[in-house]
Structure 1
């Protein structure tokens, strides 16, 4: 998990999001066997690399957390990732949400929040 801020996180996310939106708009699944499928001609390697970088990033603010959840949401809609990066991204967002109110870090975030709620 990359805990250092990615200076280009939002531009990287925007590129990934725009590419995913394009694929969604043209109905990539319905065009797979068609000669009109422009996605077949595209090199989606950079999108895959961007997605991997995004999912390995620990959010440092609410905007990054929401963006990570969008990547995960779209992946889950497509049956999820087999490498578990979706789960790591959710854990990173959960950790950030748990740490944000108190500034505490480490440990089991949900357990810590439950203990704090009992006090």
Structure 2
């Protein structure tokens, strides 16, 4: 009986660790993957670069939960503030240009909590 309890406790603990260790993508990683998009978002490049699209596709591939999506959205919104001249109309075109489905309108004013 004692061994059964210990085994159940151990399995429960391991499942807890596994679920809590799946942290969302850090903002530093999000910033690094999206950095190549700044040229297009500021109007300095005529289209998103392959590096921009590749980085954003990699980010999209990391989304496992709604919380992941919200976190990446918050990171992107905070990161874009560091760059002067980002144009909302260009920013909103990046998902379509890179063939990425995000499920919400991309804008400087996007509400990441929805």
Instruction: Name the TM-score, length of structure 1 as normaliser.
Output: 0.36
Larger gyration radius, structure 1 or structure 2 = 2
Instruction: Name the TM-score, length of structure 2 as normaliser.
Output: 0.37
